[in-house]
């Protein structure tokens, strides 16, 4: 029987960027936007707060964009401070590259295994699905989902008792399947 696990975001990830005021490297995104109009040109920023001093930094979303080139629904979502839009924009590689930021997903996701009835089985077939592109180590997911330590999962991997088509040693952010034999 194939078990389905889902990696789901629980909140916005931490933004990794140096603060100019206190030299902290962690910012919290709360989903607030600032939109500024200068005649027919728009600027839009996603506001993030420094975890150290609380200073506000702006992540550029739109820069000198002509009003007619911006979709009205996008502008409405920014005016409404839509947290879903903030999550989408933080995941956008163009926004991350433009603002020279990285994301830290520690504590911002959870694993939904659908129950613990699979823990007693000798052989477990699992399909892991990601609700968002969250980079996680598969060893950590297997350990958390099966109630094992990471060292024990590493040992099972070396013994060939955990089998998958993807490499389980690094980080993945896309769907994969694995089989665990105890």
- Report the distance separating Cα 106 and Cα 83, nearest Å: 19
What ranges in the chain are assigned the alpha helix state H?
Answer: 72-79, 83-91, 93-99, 138-146, 150-158
Q: How far is CA 116 from the centre of its chain?
A: 25
Query: pTM for the complete prediction?
Result: 0.76
Q: What sign does the CA torsion over 77, 80, 81, 84 have? A: negative
- Report the distance separating Cα 83 and Cα 90, nearest Å: 10
Q: What is the pLDDT along the chain (182 residues), one digit of tens a residue?
A: 688 999 999 989 999 999 999 989 999 998 899 999 999 999 999 999 999 999 999 999 999 999 999 999 999 999 999 998 998 999 899 999 999 999 999 988 999 988 766 666 788 899 999 998 899 999 999 999 888 899 999 999 999 999 998 888 889 989 999 998 87
CB 3 within 8 A of CB 111: no
């Amino acid at each position: 029987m194939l078990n389905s696990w889902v990696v789901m975001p629980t909140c916005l990830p931490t933004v990794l960027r140096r603060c100019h005021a206190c030299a902290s490297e962690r910012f919290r995104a709360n989903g607030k936007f600032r939109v500024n109009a200068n005649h027919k040109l728009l600027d839009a920023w996603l506001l993030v707060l420094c975890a150290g001093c609380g200073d506000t930094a702006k992540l550029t979303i739109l820069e000198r964009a002509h009003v007619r080139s911006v979709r009205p629904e996008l502008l409405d979502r920014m005016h409404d401070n839509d947290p879903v839009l903030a999550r989408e924009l933080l995941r956008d590689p163009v926004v991350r590259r433009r603002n020279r930021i990285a994301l830290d997903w520690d504590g911002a996701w959870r694993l939904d295994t659908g129950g613990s009835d699979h823990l007693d089985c000798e052989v477990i077939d699992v399909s892991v699905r990601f609700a968002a592109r969250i980079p996680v180590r598969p060893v950590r997911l297997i350990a958390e989902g099966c109630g094992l330590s990471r060292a024990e999962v590493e040992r099972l991997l070396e013994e060939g008792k955990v089998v998958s088509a993807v490499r389980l040693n690094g980080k993945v952010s896309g769907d994969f399947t694995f089989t665990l034999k105890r």
